[in-house]
Structure 1
Amino acid sequence: MRKRFIVLLAIVLVLGLYILYIFNSTGYFRKIENKMQGSILKEIPIAGVEDITVDEDDNFAIFISYDRAAERDGNPKRGGIYTMDLGDENLAVTALSEQMDLDLLPHGISLFQVDSTKHKLFVANHADGESVEVFDLFHTDSLVHVKTIKDEMIYAINDLVAVSENEFYFTNDHYYENTLGRLAENYLGLAKCETVYFDGSDYTVVDNSLAYANGINYDANRNLLFVASPRGFKIIVFSRLEDGKLDYLDTIDTGTGVDNLEFDKDGNIWSGSHPNLLAFTAYAKGKLPNAPSEIVKIDYRGQGDYSVETTFLDDGAKVSATSVAAPYKDLILVGNVMDDHFLILKN
């Protein structure tokens, strides 16, 4: 009888520690004290703007829309690609993909400048299986679909970053497809997600050490690749090798669920983030009316030398589940996973 009691007590203790670990490692106990540097300049009524990127030289932003809340509620809508004229005081928005015969449920995006009149746009797409859509963008307002890239290596794509006209890296945010495996990834923080390099013809897994690999971006000036792990509350820093493979350099502890990563003109990293992952999950399932949001600015100066600053923190009243913070001069374009609008902040 005594042995059974000890065994039962041990099981209860292990379960209790497991539950405590989940709550602690997902930010559940964090107190959200609203903070905002500057003010809200504008709300743009477009839903599910999960990713945004800015070309500061040509003064425009490009972003995607995918109304996940409508899809969750049984009313799926086609996604879209848009540009915003940042040189226009009204921040005019232009829809680029409305007339295309292409099913779009877009996720991450990446923009690569080819010359003074042309960019390549790469878009992670969840429609009709998992794929990467490649476009030519001319003069910032004319979009032409070039091709669809599909492969068994593209199976849970979250974000991507182009390093040339034909090469890109992308993250798969889960490794397992079965329920048990995904539970282990989501709640235990099992780190198996793959970051993959595509050289234009072949695929190479360049890392498989992250829990929920997410935002990815490349600093060409320093030859550094940054990959976000919101489940790990961290960003991994890699040095890019000549053959496209990666050499681990550093880990940035962010203290929040970092999502997409963008750079400002000084090389600082900006991330829309999820300070409470359990609240985000409940919100995404429609069980909570909102979820907290955070924007962090990271000054990465070199190995082991960095600072993390929270510039925006909100309980979800202004914006829920921030996923990207794209800087442009004194503006921050703030996207999110499921709201019916996104924000422009002015410092």
Structure 2
Amino acid sequence: MLKIILVAFLAFLVQYSFKVLLTLDVHKRTYNHRPGPCRKIEGVVNGSEDITISYEKNLAFITSGLVFLHSESSKTENNGEMFVYDLSQRTYKAERIPVKNLEDSEFLPHGISHWVLKDGTVRLFVVVHSKDFKHSIVILDYDEKNRVLNHVRTIRDDKFVRPNDVLATGENSFFVSNDGGCHSNIGNILEIATGFHKGSLVHYDGKNSHYLLENTATNGIILSNDKKTLYVSFIYEETIGVFDWNVGKQEIREVSKIETLTACDNFHVDEDDNLWSACHPVLKDAAKHLGNHKNKDLHSPTQVLRFKFSEDRKFAEIVEVFSDEGRFTSAGAVATSFDNGKQMLIGTVFRDVTHCDINISLDF
């Protein structure tokens, strides 16, 4: 009996070790290629973790100054900032936009989404952390004339456990993805190592919140252009979930899961309803970079993928648009296309923004 138990334990240990090695992508490497000329945008230096594009205004809004997991407040050196980038001109310069009447002094933004109000105002929804890693969703209206963001409302909820991304579904409603349930680095490592994730997907209807998914690690979230299909990144599973979104019942129904073999971060949907994502193809390098992002010698590879879904949304044609070993674009977190697919922006977790021309056809 003892031998049987020992063999079973060794078999489990081998299987578990192999699974961890695959999760960390120890068997992968990245090759560099670009779809056209790429250059850096001036102004953003402390991260560009998420970007949302208002095609109506031809503007990109960028979050900067992410705090990744809990650390001592005194050691948090980041300054949270918001930037706007005019897509109609090739200035290659992002402009910092101040946030007015904010009730909290600590503003460290993460995920971002937007909703256009009936009067044409762009309303931003932003995941915000404090230096001691407390969380909220902050709603801001963009004053285009004065080029400032006016604070509208700050929302806190017990279900916003560790928010990563936010997705507007109305003037005051939104989804929130929780990428885990632990606030500490050790707890996060244990969640990843054991596979027992305590994250979730939450919908807030303007007054109340409820769970749509539980006990999973959700990351990037976005809706199709008709607001009927929800895409969810399960970053540690290396899959993208495709769901029907019933806004009336506030329910989701799984349609399919797309295997990506890479850790996709945030999402963007272009004018043709294609899904875009910046991904972390080598998770062990991403972990090293995120754990010590001030070290300029630590890089994390970036991969940009575009997904064109079949009519039934059960399959997707995946094209790798951009790939970099991390020396030029490190730890890409979001990729957004514009100009009818002729240009794109790539935001990074802790560094700058890359602006690329797309001079090749992505359709086959």
TM-score (norm 1): 0.90
Q: Report whether the alignment pairs 1:36 with 2:47.
A: no
The alpha carbon displacement at 1:4 in A equals: 5.9
User: Secondary structure of 1:165's match?
Assistant: coil
Matched positions, count: 342
Distance 1:56 1:152, change over 3 A: same
Which shows bigger deviation, 86-95 or 274-283? 86-95
Unaligned runs of 5+ in 2: 359-364
The equivalences for 1:66-215 within 5 A come to 66=65, 68=67, 74=75, 76-97=77-98, 101=102, 102-115=105-118, 117-127=120-130, 129-139=134-144, 141-176=147-182, 182-208=188-214, 210=216, 212-215=217-220
**Structure having the larger proportion of residues in strand:** 1
What is the root-mean-square deviation of aligned Cα atoms in Å? 2.4
The alpha carbon displacement at 1:175 in A equals: 2.7
What per-residue deviation string (whole Å, max 9, x for no partner) do you get for residues 126-158 of structure 1?
A: 116110001111337331001110111112000
User: Secondary structure of 1:197's match?
Assistant: strand
Distance 1:75 1:126, change over 3 A: closer
Which shows bigger deviation, 120-129 or 97-106? 97-106
Distance in 1 separating the partners of 2:227 and 2:136:
29
Please name the residue that 2:239 is paired with.
234
Distance in 2 separating the partners of 1:123 and 1:179:
23
Which shows bigger deviation, 250-259 or 87-96? 87-96
Matched letter for residue 65 of structure 1? S
Distance in 2 separating the partners of 1:116 and 1:38:
38
The equivalences for 1:218-297 within 5 A come to 218-221=223-226, 223-241=228-246, 242-286=248-292, 289-297=298-306
Distance in 1 separating the partners of 2:228 and 2:89:
33
User: Secondary structure of 1:164's match?
Assistant: coil
TM-score (norm 2): 0.86
Which shows bigger deviation, 97-106 or 114-123? 97-106
Distance in 2 separating the partners of 1:257 and 1:166:
30
Distance 1:206 1:7, change over 3 A: closer
Please name the residue that 2:362 is paired with.
none
Distance in 1 separating the partners of 2:16 and 2:268:
34
Distance 1:67 1:194, change over 3 A: closer
Q: 1:343 aligns with which of 351, 354, 357?
A: 354
Distance in 2 separating the partners of 1:265 and 1:106:
26
Unaligned runs of 5+ in 1: none
Matched letter for residue 243 of structure 2? F
